[in-house]
Chain A
Amino acid sequence: MPNLVESLYNIRILDELAEKRTIIHNIHPLMKVLTTGVYLMVTVSFGKYELSGLLPLIFYPVVLITLADIPIVPIFKRVLLVLPLIIGIGLFNPLFDKNPMIVLPWIQISGGWISFFSILIKGFLTILAALILIATTGMTRIASALRIMRIPRLFIMQLLLTYRYISVLIEEVGRVVRAYSLRSPGEKGIRFSNWGSLTGQLLIRTLERAQRVYHSMCCRGFAGEYNVGREKGMGIGDIVYFVGWSLYFVIIRYFNIPAMIGSLMMGVGK
């Protein structure tokens, strides 16, 4: 139950954020999708011991979150919910890789810890990037970006329908589960003997709903073709956004800026 409520809340909050009108929201969805793609590729392309070089990537989420007026708390909550999975796998690194990597006068840090933190930071940045994309673009506009990218209509229609009916069905599932738990005190979930009937009845109702949806589509002339509205044209600003960020990502991939700054500060150059 809390799961159901929580995920509904999560979808709605992201939807609401996507309705804002900021500079970032107004950028063409295709450019945002592509920029996110480049960002993710660059982020994961860093080697497992390249820790400091990763850090300038954080400018992207910082700039976007502030420019797009995205509240930090709900987004970070989501990141923290997902991160433990990554940490679970990453934590093995310090166990298996104990070569000293960083030697400071007072401490030695093993390669395992470096690669662990590298995974952690990558996890953090990639999760953030996906959430920022949906929070500044919204499902409908992402769908129109997919359309421009020549993803078949059938898949997009299907994707949008799934997205549309998630909130309807989560509510329906919630009602059924609530009704069940009201009559079965002290149970954490659905009892074995009711697995099939409870889910099965929900499923049959869902199939009937699908039928009604299909009928209502037919009544408005649906014949297998699905037409999305046109996304407004791309401006120079949109292209500059994409090219600018991509250039930045590529530069920080090739130059370890923090190391340069550090060496400038410390004077450990040649």
Chain B
Amino acid sequence: MSHHIIQVNNLKYKYPDGREALNGVTFRITHGESIGIVGANGAGKSTLLMHLVGVLFPDEGEISVGDVPVTKKTLPVIRQRVGMVFQEPDDQLFMTTVYDDVAFGPRNYKLPEEEVEKRVKSSLDTVGILHLKDRPPYKLSGGEKRAAAIATVLAMNPDILVMDEPTSALDPKSRRRLIMLLQSFTHTKIIATHDMDMVFELCERTIILQDGKVITDGPTAKILSNVELMEECGLELPLGLQGCPVCGTK
């Protein structure tokens, strides 16, 4: 299962305006891991994710997925293995019906239409919105949009799921449903988020980014409960670990 390993070595990236977004990021993720990437606004989380799917290319350092380095030439392979769920579902749902949107990826890989249909139906079924397949995206609720965006990625049969802020702008119930859904996936998961409680529940490992560098990388339970470390990085303990505001106990 070596092709599920992600190796990132000394990644550096500068924006066109000269601002440094990533300043030597290194880590290794193995098969089936679930990683939370946390950090304050502007820490470089989204930029890092963009590198994992080859939307951006590093100025220095390299990334490989499995044994394949991420370069312009290997993009078709990389993108089949790594599925990315964008922060804003409206950016990802660009077709006029949910069905066509989910079918977009498989059709680009020139799968026969029967296979496309099978994949669309099974991914929509997985995220629980098969009944919405003929709807236009603007008619979906926030939670349904998020589910549809995830389905568009699942239909590509990726080994690795990369997600940018999957729980942002979701109501508590939709958030809960999404967490359960993600828990049921066996894919390798890389989740960039500010939702510490979700990381606490979903990810056994956490990477904290600050100013484009990895500050810590280790077991979630240890990192997220470290009050000083969290504050230093502009973060907060998960609510579940904070004192109870009513009775004042943990």
- Is A213 among interface residues, defined by CB-CB distance under 8 A? yes
Q: Give the residue name and chain of the A residue nearest to B76 (CB).
A: A221
CA distance A216 to B108 in the complex (A): 13
Residues of A within 8 A of B76 (CB): 221
- Is A178 among interface residues, defined by CB-CB distance under 8 A? no
CA distance A161 to B92 in the complex (A): 12
Given contacts A140-B100, A215-B55, A225-B108, contact A220 B152 (CB under 8 A): yes
Query: B88–A212 contact, CB under 8 A?
Result: yes
Query: B50–A220 contact, CB under 8 A?
Result: no
Given contacts A163-B96, A216-B84, A219-B83, contact A227 B108 (CB under 8 A): yes
**Interface size bracket, B side:** 35 or more
Q: Give the residue name and chain of the A residue nearest to B117 (CB).
A: A229
Given contacts A229-B113, A230-B113, contact A219 B79 (CB under 8 A): yes
Query: A216–B94 contact, CB under 8 A?
Result: yes
**Cross-chain contact of B108 among A140, A215, A223 (Cβ < 8 A):** A223
Q: Residue among A217, A223, A227 with the most chain B CB within 10 A?
A: A227
Residues of B within 8 A of A215 (CB): 50, 55, 86, 91
Query: A160–B84 contact, CB under 8 A?
Result: no
CA distance A163 to B94 in the complex (A): 10
Please choose the segment from B20-28, B130-138, B180-188, B237-245 that sits at the chain A interface, where 4 or more of its residues have CB less than 8 A away: B130-138
CA distance A19 to B107 in the complex (A): 24
Residues of A within 8 A of B53 (CB): 219
CA distance A267 to B53 in the complex (A): 81
- Is B90 among interface residues, defined by CB-CB distance under 8 A? yes
CA distance A238 to B80 in the complex (A): 40
Residues of A within 8 A of B113 (CB): 229-230
Query: B138–A168 contact, CB under 8 A?
Result: yes
Query: A221–B108 contact, CB under 8 A?
Result: yes
Interface string of A155-176 (1 = CB under 8 A from B): 0000011011101100000000
- Is A139 among interface residues, defined by CB-CB distance under 8 A? yes
- Is B39 among interface residues, defined by CB-CB distance under 8 A? no
**Tally of contact residues, A, Cβ under 8 A:** 30
Interface string of B117-134 (1 = CB under 8 A from A): 000000000000000001
Given contacts A209-B91, A219-B84, A221-B109, contact A19 B134 (CB under 8 A): yes
- Is A69 among interface residues, defined by CB-CB distance under 8 A? no
Query: A213–B96 contact, CB under 8 A?
Result: no
- Is B156 among interface residues, defined by CB-CB distance under 8 A? yes
Number of A-B contacts (CB under 8 A): 78
- Is B95 among interface residues, defined by CB-CB distance under 8 A? yes
Q: Residue among A161, A164, A223 with the most chain B CB within 10 A?
A: A164
CA distance A253 to B75 in the complex (A): 59
- Is B7 among interface residues, defined by CB-CB distance under 8 A? no
- Is B105 among interface residues, defined by CB-CB distance under 8 A? yes
Query: A212–B96 contact, CB under 8 A?
Result: no
Query: B94–A221 contact, CB under 8 A?
Result: no
- Is A9 among interface residues, defined by CB-CB distance under 8 A? no
- Is B13 among interface residues, defined by CB-CB distance under 8 A? no
Given contacts A15-B136, A212-B88, A230-B113, contact A220 B96 (CB under 8 A): no
Query: A212–B80 contact, CB under 8 A?
Result: no
CB-CB contacts below 8 Å: B221-248 with A: none
Q: How far is the CB of A113 from chain B (nearest CB, A)?
A: 45
Query: A221–B86 contact, CB under 8 A?
Result: no
Query: A212–B79 contact, CB under 8 A?
Result: no
**Cross-chain contact of B156 among A168, A212, A220 (Cβ < 8 A):** A220
- Is A218 among interface residues, defined by CB-CB distance under 8 A? yes
Residues of A within 8 A of B50 (CB): 215
- Is B207 among interface residues, defined by CB-CB distance under 8 A? no
Residues of A within 8 A of B105 (CB): 220-221
CA distance A16 to B156 in the complex (A): 30
Nearest 9 pairs of A and B residues by beta carbon:
A220-B105, A221-B108, A227-B107, A212-B91, A167-B138, A216-B92, A140-B96, A215-B55, A219-B84
A-B contact pairs, 28 of them (CB 8 A): A12-B139, A15-B136, A139-B96, A140-B97, A140-B100, A160-B95, A160-B96, A167-B138, A168-B138, A209-B91, A212-B86, A212-B88, A213-B91, A213-B94, A215-B50, A215-B91, A218-B79, A219-B55, A219-B79, A219-B153, A220-B79, A220-B104, A221-B108, A222-B108, A225-B108, A229-B100, A229-B103, A229-B116
